[in-house]
Structure 1
Amino acid sequence: MFPTLETERLRLRELSDEDAPAVLHCFSDAEVLRYYGQKPLTSIEQVKQIIEHFSRSFEEKRGIKWGIELKAEGNIIGTIGLQEWSSEHQRADISYALFPEAWGKGYAKEAVSQVISFGFDELRLKRIGAVVFVENHASNRLLTNAGFVKEGTLRNYMYQNEVPYDTHIYSLLKTY
């Protein structure tokens, strides 16, 4: 059973084909993808295949991806997930993307906090990692404020539009 998580303002829920237009809107936006290391999505069919991939990833316990929904409005404002999930090694990496109109309102902080709790409490992770473009100041600040520790810089680690970018690698370890 796919877990639905809730915060004061957000519902993190499984994505469905009905969410494909919103996901396409998010992941075809150059501003959203500026620091994401992904080419823009171009079609609803492509998005539906990705949503199916997310579903298989969860079934196979390799990752979990939620749609971030505003409770008050019922609309998707982005995605958040844990990928590279390894039960054996008790770790996963977190990633998230929000529509530009949702930036600066604390939604990412709220969603990240909830997913961290879920990862440590329900998935029994001992480490949650993150890889972030050096230039993505908002995300670097969010992770630091959430307690993540910068472990180093990976040079030319991600490419965006054929341009190499350095990234910071972060980790958050479960404390007892």
Structure 2
Amino acid sequence: MTELNFSTERLYIRPVSEKDIENIHRLHSLDETDEFNTLGIPKDINETREIVEGWILENNKSHTFAIELEQENEFIGLIGIKLGKEKYKNAEVWFKLDSRFWNKGYATESLKRIIAFGFDELNLHRIEAGCAVENTGSIHVLEKVGMLREAHTRKLLPLKSGWSDNYGYAILSTD
């Protein structure tokens, strides 16, 4: 399989590798990034290593990418696209950025590129995303890239603060 590396105006997006484990562990351990995440803070770096190794093994059904600042080669977060059943030509996207890099347009920039990858290279018909109803940052990102809110699911997400409602978003290849 060809290496999937993408550049945007300011970012370099590439498949995660074992060299990212420490950066991913740090990202997953931040209270700010854990607030709306169902993964939870890993108990140690070995738990993070297992997660990353799983992502690497699943790279034909699910693509998990490291996001780096192009100029500085600095790891700032993760973005992923998980393919659904082939017949449905759909996938789900997700992202998680270090809070130091919030509100700078990086999530929007990387998500636009991954959505383009999904439609242009994976020939998907539909790309979905979900987020906690209180996660206004992610809501803004999803709406900025053209995703439409289609659902409000009650008490779906097991967050550290308790069960949270979820907004479901989607974008079609024809949008």
TM-score between both structures, scaled by the size of structure 2: 0.94
The correspondence of residues 1-176 of structure 1 with structure 2, limited to 5 A, is 1-58=2-59, 61-161=60-160, 163-175=162-174
Secondary structure at 1:101 match in 2: helix
CA contact (8 A) 1:20 1:48 kept: yes
Structure 1 unpaired stretches of 5+: none
Secondary structure at 1:125 match in 2: coil
Secondary structure at 1:88 match in 2: helix
Structure 2 unpaired stretches of 5+: none
Q: Which amino acid aligns with 1:130?
A: A
Pairwise CA distance, 1:162: 6.3
Q: Hey, what's the Cα distance between the residues in 1 that align with 2:84 and 2:62? A: 5
Q: What's the C-alpha RMSD, in Å, of the aligned pairs?
A: 1.3
CA contact (8 A) 2:55 2:63 kept: yes
Pairwise CA distance, 1:79: 0.1
Determine what percentage of the aligned residue pairs are the same residue.
29
Q: Deviations over 1:113-155 (max 9, x none)?
A: 0000000000011000001100001111111121111111000
**More off after superposition, 90-99 vs 76-85:** 76-85
**More off after superposition, 40-49 vs 147-156:** 40-49
Q: Deviations over 1:11-57 (max 9, x none)?
A: 11121222111101100111101111221023222222211111111
CA contact (8 A) 1:12 1:67 kept: yes
Q: Which amino acid aligns with 2:107?
A: A
**More off after superposition, 41-50 vs 129-138:** 41-50
Q: Which amino acid aligns with 2:68?
A: E
Runs of 4+ in 1 over 4 A off after TM superposition: none
**More off after superposition, 163-172 vs 2-11:** 2-11
